[in-house]
A and B are shown apart, each in its own frame.
Chain A
Amino acid sequence: MTTKQFMFVNRKAPYGTIYAWEALEVVLIAAAFEQDVSLAFLDDGVYQLKKGHQTKGIEVKAFEKTWGALEDYDVTKLYVDQESLAERGLTADDLAVPVEVLSRAEIGKLMEAQDVVLSF
């Protein structure tokens, strides 16, 4: 099968809308299709990665376990925008998974090099 570079651009916070969750479902399918998958987290998307989600009270599935599953699918390229973290008072230590923190311009370059950019 043809392998293409797919980047998933996550810019929305979790729970308030379903976009982040359904985006993750696409990521897993792309990985199952053995595509070259990467994820970029910008703007409110960085909140998806925040450690310590306790979603029992809102009766919605939490993200945190699924991030662990990404590695099982060989999805290891997680890029996080430095500026988005900083303006929200977060650092990489606040995140539930290991990520590569990059500047917006660096993420822009990676985005440009993709075959397919999917945003939700």
Chain B
Amino acid sequence: MKFAILVNEGPYTHQASDTAFQFAKAVLAKGHEIFRVFFYHDGVNNATRLTTPPQDDRNIVNRWSKLAEEHNLDMVVCVAAAQRRGIVDDGEMKRNGKDATNLAPGFRISGLGQLIEAGIQADRLVVFGD
């Protein structure tokens, strides 16, 4: 079965991203497919490579990047939500005249259409938020 996952909260403040991650791992362990993980609202903050949690804590951002690499996941960050919150890739940096990027590996920035497409293509879409 094809799953899509929507993450609406950032890392650490809410459990949403943790639960979504554990759910994603369980989906893959069961042999299902993940069509896409979409990050919206403060969920876009899961995609900044500049986070530095204490060493004895989980690294939520790296964990997503690693999962994406291992399973070839498509992880999409909403462009409008990302612009509001300062999540920047090369294209966004040039387009908006910024002096830095912070998008973590495995993530890409794209439009909300990617969320609707996930809803169309996947058999199930599960929302994680606050």
Contact = CB atoms under 8 A, between A and B. Distances in A.
Contacts of A35: 116, 119-120
A4 interface: yes
Interface string B77-113: 0001100000000000000000000000000000111
Range class of the B interface residue count = 10 to 19
Nearest to B111: A29
Contacts of A29: 111-113, 115-116
Interface residues of A, number: 19
A40 interface: no
B127 interface: yes
From DSSP, what is the main secondary structure of chain A's interface residues?
mixed
Nearest to B6: A118
Contacts of A6: 116, 119
Interface of B: 6, 8, 40-41, 80-81, 111-113, 115-117, 119-120, 125, 127, 129
